[in-house]
Amino acid sequence: MKIGDNIREIREVEKNFKRSYVAERLNMSTRAYANIENNRTDLSMKKLEQIAEIFECSPQYILTYKSSKKEFYNYFHNYPENKGVNIMHQNIETSVGSMLSNKEKIYELQRQLLESEQKRIALLEALLKKNNIDF
């Protein structure tokens, strides 16, 4: 697992931030920040927390980003029991314990998504207020 890869993907795909924007928020040069994303610089926990704050997520989300994303994708697109069957009917053959743990993972992902969207809405509302735009 390479944390820099996770940071880059979250920045580009989820947040659509420029490297220079994140670097500026971290009070560092764009080149120094690029070294973090390119896994050339060891990342301190403090710096990881700062990046997580900018991305409005938890450090754990950054650390487990690709594995969580892979599990989510595999569950819906390539789960072994799927066998090309409608997703509504997959998992019928799996054990109840396995189904519960998968449901818990989905609920956790849904909770994280909802939390992320609530933070995004709050940020947008603050920006609208700051610019005296009624909503």
- Predicted local confidence at residue 89, as pLDDT: 44
- Predicted local confidence at residue 132, as pLDDT: 87
* Helix, strand, coil percent values for the chain (each to nearest 5): 70, 0, 30
- Predicted local confidence at residue 31, as pLDDT: 96
In three-state secondary structure terms, 90 is: coil
pTM to 2 decimals? 0.52
Nearest Cα residue to 123 out of 53, 23, 76: 53
- Predicted local confidence at residue 66, as pLDDT: 73
In three-state secondary structure terms, 27 is: coil
Q: CB-hemisphere CA count at 13 Å for 110?
A: 6
- Predicted local confidence at residue 56, as pLDDT: 92
Count helices and strands in the chain by DSSP H and E runs: 7, 0
Residue 78 per-residue DSSP state: S
- Predicted local confidence at residue 80, as pLDDT: 54
d(CA 90, CA 88): 6
Q: Would you kindly state where each structural domain of the chain is located, as residue ranges?
A: 1-58, 64-135
- Predicted local confidence at residue 27, as pLDDT: 96
Q: Name the stretches of the chain with pLDDT < 50.
A: 75, 84-96
Given this structure, which CATH class describes domain 1-58? mainly alpha
For 43-75, write each residue's pLDDT tens digit.
Answer: 999 999 999 999 999 999 998 887 666 555 554
Query: How far from 26 is each of 19, 38, 133, CA to CA, in Å?
Result: 11, 16, 29
- Predicted local confidence at residue 71, as pLDDT: 56
